Amino acid sequence: MSDLVIQILAASMLLATPLLLAAIGELVVEKSGVINLGVEGMMLIGGLAGFIALYQLQTSTCTMLIGDVCFTAENSVNQFQYIGSLVVAALVGAMAAALFGFLTQYFRANHIAAGLGLTVLGAGLSNSLGGNFFGVDYTAAIVASVPPLFPENWSEVPVLGPLLFSQNLLVPFSFLMLVAVWFFLNRTRAGLVVRAVGENHHSAYALGYPVILVRMMTIMFGGAMAGLAGAFIVIAQIAPKWTEGITVGKGWLALALILFATWRPGRVLLGAYLFGIVLALEPRLKAIFSNMSLEISYFLTALPYIVPVVVLVLISRNPVMIRRNAPASLGQSFEPRS
Amino acid sequence: MIRLIPRTQFGFWATAFPLILALSITVVVGFLVMVAMSEQPLSDTWTLLTFPWQARTASVQWGFVLQKSSYLAIMAVGLSIGYRANVWNIGAEGQFAFGSILAFGAYVLFGMPDTVWFLPVMLLFGVLGGVAWALIPAALRVWANTNELLTSLMLVYVAANVLNYVTTGPWKGDPKAGQAESDPIHESLRIASIIERTDFHWGVIISAGAILVLACVVLFTTFGYSLRVAQNTPRAQKFAGFSPQMTVWMSFVLSGATAGLAGAIFLSAETGKLIQSENYLNGLGFTAIVIAFLGRLHPIGIVAAALLISYVNVGATYVQSASQVDDSVAELVQVTALFAVLGTAFLSRYRVVFGRPDLSTEGAA
C-alpha cells in the first residue's frame, strides 16, 4: 500500500511540475499587471521547439542513422543535449510571448483578446509545424528518453529513490525557480518595481520606472517558463513524443492555479501538487477498480477539469481575499497621461 | 519621435483606416506565408483567392463557405454580446457540444420520431442544452464570484467527456464503426439543402435569422445600450441602474443559446449522429472567439469576418487537394488577421504624430 502512495506521489510530481513552471512564470506576469491568457499556446509552441531541438541534437550526434531513426548502440540523449533543447524551448516561448507583449504594450491591444489569439496561434502553428517542419514529420519522429539526473541504481533507494533520485532535471529546477521568484518579488528592489507597476502603473510611471519595459520583460519571462513547461510535457513526462494538442488544457490549469493561489508563490506550489495528485490518481484508480461503471470512469477522466472549477468556487466565495491580493492594474493597458 | 495623441473627433476614417491597414497587413503576411509554404506561390495564391471558379462546380464551394461561416457567425455574434460587457465566455465549444447532445437526447427521449415536424423540437432542445451548459459558469460568476473565463473553458473538457460517454455508453451505435458513435437520426430529420447537392441548407437561413434578431437586440434595444455602457465605462453601468448580474446572465444565456443552436444544426445537417469528441468537435467554438474579435464585436463586422475567414479556410482546403500546400495556411492567415486587427485597433482612438511635441497647439490637450 505504501508502495502505491509513493508511486502516486512520484507521478504527481511529474504531473505537477509543468503546472508549477507555467504558473510561476504567469505569476510574475500578473504581478506586473498583465494577464496573458496565451499560456497554453506558448506551452505548445515551446514544447514543439524543444522536441525539434532535441531530435536535431540527437540525430546530429548519431553515428548510425537509418531513415529517421537512430540505431547507435546506446541510442540515447545526454543531459547536455536535453539542456540545450530546454534552452531552445524557453527562447521560443519567450519569442511567442514577445509577440503578445508588442501587441498589448506598444499597440495597446486588449489583453484578453491578444492572449486568446496567442493560444489559437500556438495550437495552429504547432499542429502545422509538428506535421512537417523542413521535411520531417515530428509526430512520427523517435527520440530517446532523457537519462535520469542521478546514477540509475540510486532510484532503488526506498522512498527517496522514486521521489528524489529518479526525477527529471526540471523538477528540482521548478522548486528552485519558485524560491527565486518568491525572493525576487518580496525581497528585492527590482521585485518591488514589478509589483509597483502591477499595482498602479501611473504612479510607477510618475516615479520614473519604465512601465512598458518592465512589463515586456515579465511577459517574456512568463513565456520562457511556459516554453519550459511545454518542453517538460513533450519530452520528459512520459517519453519524448509529439502529438497535436499534447498539453490538453494544462496552460489553463496553470492560470486557474494563480487565482487559486491568490497570487502567492507558496500557494501556487500547494495548488500545483493538489492538481498533480488529482491527475495522478485518475489512471491508478481506473487500474485498481477495473470493473467500475462507464459513468464513473468518464467522471474520473473529467475530474482534473472539475476539481479546478470547484476549487475556484471555494476560493472566490470570499471576494475580499481576491480583491486584497489581485494586482490593482491587472489587465489594464498602460496609456501614459500627457 | 512617435507619439500617440487621443482623438477628439471620431470620423469615418477613425474606423476605416485601422481596418484597411489590418487588411493590408493580413494580405502581405498571408502572401509571405504562402511563399514559405508553397512551391509556386503566385499560382497557388491565385487559386486560393478564386477557388470557387477554379473548381468544377462553384455552387458546391460556395455552399461550403456559407455553411461554415453560418456556424462561426452565429456563435461569434452570441459571444460578442458578453464580450461587449467584459463577460468572457470562452467555452462556446462546450456549449456547442451540449447543444448537440441535448438535441440528440430529445430525439431519443421522444421515441425517435420519423417526421420533419420534430426538427424544430430538436433545435429547441439544442438551444436549451447550450443555455443549460452556459448557465453553470454564469451562476458561479453571479453567486460565487468565480472567474467565468476559466470555468467556462474547463467545462469544454467536461462536455467533451460527456459526449464521449454518451457515444460509448447509453447511445452507442454501430460497434463496428472505427470510432465511438451513436446511431444516425432518421433521414427526415436531416436539414435539407436549398440548392441540390450543396451544403447550402436551411440551417444557414435559420442562423441568419437568429443573427438578425440578435443584431437588432444589440443595436436597437435598451439592453444593447446597457452593454455598450458596460463596455465603455463599467462604473457608469451601475449609476445608470443597469444590473451587472443581469448582464452576466443575459450574456451567457444568449451566447449559450447561439452555440447550442449551432450544435443542433451541425448534428442535423452535417453528421446526422453523435461522434466521439475528437472527431465531432473541430474547434468551431474557439474559431468563433477569433471571429468575434475580428468583427470588432459588431454584428455586421462579425458576419463579414466569418464569411472572409470561411472563404480562406475552404479555399485552403481546395488548394491543399489541388497542389499539396498544407491547409494550415488558413489558420495562419486567420491569426495574422486577428493580430493585425487587435494591433491596429488603437488607431481608432489615437492619432499617430511624428516629430517633437508642439506645445503651442497640443500642450493644452
Domain boundaries, chain B: 64-301
Reported pTM:
0.89
Distance (Å, rounded) from C-alpha A193 to C-alpha A234? 35
Using DSSP, state whether A281 is helix, strand or coil. Answer: helix
pLDDT score recorded for residue A153 = 67
Residues of A within an 8 Å Cβ radius of B: 37, 99, 102-103, 107-110, 112-114, 116-117, 120-121, 124-125, 127-128, 131-132, 248-249, 252, 255-256, 259, 294-295, 298-299, 301-302, 305-306, 308-309, 312-313, 316-317, 319, 322, 338
Q: What is the ipTM of this complex?
A: 0.86
Nearest chain B residue to A132 by CA: give it. B326
CA distance B342 to chain A (A): 5
Q: Which residues of chain A have pLDDT under 70?
A: 1, 62-76, 135, 152-156, 158-166, 337-338
Q: How would you write the pLDDT of chain B (365 residues) with one tens digit per residue?
A: 677 777 777 777 877 888 899 999 998 998 888 888 777 888 888 888 888 887 777 788 888 899 999 999 999 999 999 888 888 999 999 999 999 999 999 999 988 888 888 899 999 999 999 999 999 999 999 998 888 888 999 999 999 999 999 998 888 888 887 788 888 888 888 887 888 777 788 889 999 999 999 999 888 988 888 887 877 777 777 777 778 888 899 999 999 999 999 999 999 988 888 998 888 888 888 889 989 999 988 999 999 999 999 998 888 888 887 777 777 778 888 888 888 988 888 888 788 877 766 655 544 44
Distance (Å, rounded) from C-alpha B128 to C-alpha B248? 17
Q: For residues B131 and B112, is the Cβ–Cβ distance under 8 A?
A: no
Q: For residues A242 and A290, is the Cβ–Cβ distance under 8 A?
A: no
CATH of domain A2-325: 1.10.3470
The domains of chain A are located at 2-325
pLDDT score recorded for residue A65 = 64
Chain B interface disruption, residue of A121, A257, A306, A325, most B CBs within 10 A: A121
CA angle at B341 for the pair B339 and B342, rounded to the nearest 5°: 65
Amino acid identity at A67: G
Q: For residues A96 and A41, is the Cβ–Cβ distance under 8 A?
A: yes
pLDDT score recorded for residue A64 = 64
Using DSSP, state whether A7 is helix, strand or coil. Answer: helix
* CB-based contacts of B196, cutoff 8 Å, min separation 6: none
pLDDT score recorded for residue A183 = 95
pLDDT score recorded for residue A70 = 61
pLDDT score recorded for residue B128 = 96
